[in-house]
Amino acid sequence: MDTKLDAKTRIVESARTCLLADGFAALSTRKVADGAGVPLSQIHYHFGGKQGVVLALLAHENRTLVTRQREMYAASESLSTRYDQACDFLEDDLASGYVRVLQEMVAAGWSDPEVAAQVVGLVGVWLGVLEQVAREAEERFGRLGPFTAADVATLVGLSFLGGEAMILLGDDGFAARTRTALRAVGTLIRAAEARVG
């Protein structure tokens, strides 16, 4: 752990490492403090406890990745190319541990209303980004069948979220099926792009 970083940053980084290794249920604030090279009291001082440090970690990860998505979707490439990039990002996010952090927080939110509220808010930000993209598609391709832009954003966003959960379960067959299905949406977008020229 880099001792030049401030204590809060070191705690968040240590929490990330511990969460990926042990999961939320087994996450120990003492282990996080040891990994950060700070006294246990620093976790309580800066974050109020285990929940606070994990929520800070999730918020930090989410800010970084939402910024990346917004920049990617604001690019001038075709919508299908940008969607394919989003599928590539899924692989990056799995490798980095972000998906595991998010899914651990989803599970923790089932029994903790404060965690649930933060997770819902963060997922809502992602869905907002996707809704802007769906509106762009609607303007370019016309009506999206019976779906509003918000409907499409919800279906695509929750497909990724559910797909991520299934991939993390480790079944190779289901993971491949999930990746294939998510990428097939890009094929639909390319077909729409070909129709409108």
Q: Which residue has the tokens 């993971």?
A: 175
Minimum mean pLDDT range among 4-8, 147-151, 182-186: 4-8
Q: Which domain holds residue 81?
A: 56-196
- Residue 4: predicted pLDDT: 58
**Six token digits for residue 66:** 């939402």
- Name all contacts of 107-114 with Cβ < 8 Å and 24+ positions apart: 107/24, 108/24, 108/51, 108/54, 112/51, 114/51, 114/55
- 17 close to 35: Cβ distance less than 8 angstroms: yes
Q: What is the pLDDT of residues 138-155, one digit of tens each?
A: 999 998 899 999 999 999
**Phi–psi pair at 144, nearest 5 degrees:** -95, 55
Residues 161 and 69 in one domain: yes
Number of domains in the chain: 2
Residues 34 and 76 in one domain: no
**Six token digits for residue 64:** 């970084």
Residues 7 and 26 in one domain: yes
Residues 67 and 4 in one domain: no
Residue 54 — pLDDT band, cuts 50, 70, 90?
confident
Predicted confidence (pLDDT) at residue 129 exceeds the cutoff of 70? yes
| CATH number of the domain residue 4 falls in | 1.10.10.60
- Residue 98: predicted pLDDT: 85
Q: What is the pTM of this model?
A: 0.82
Residues 96 and 166 in one domain: yes
- Residue 148: predicted pLDDT: 95
Among the candidates 27, 48, 69, a domain finishes at 48
| CATH number of the domain residue 134 falls in | 1.10.357
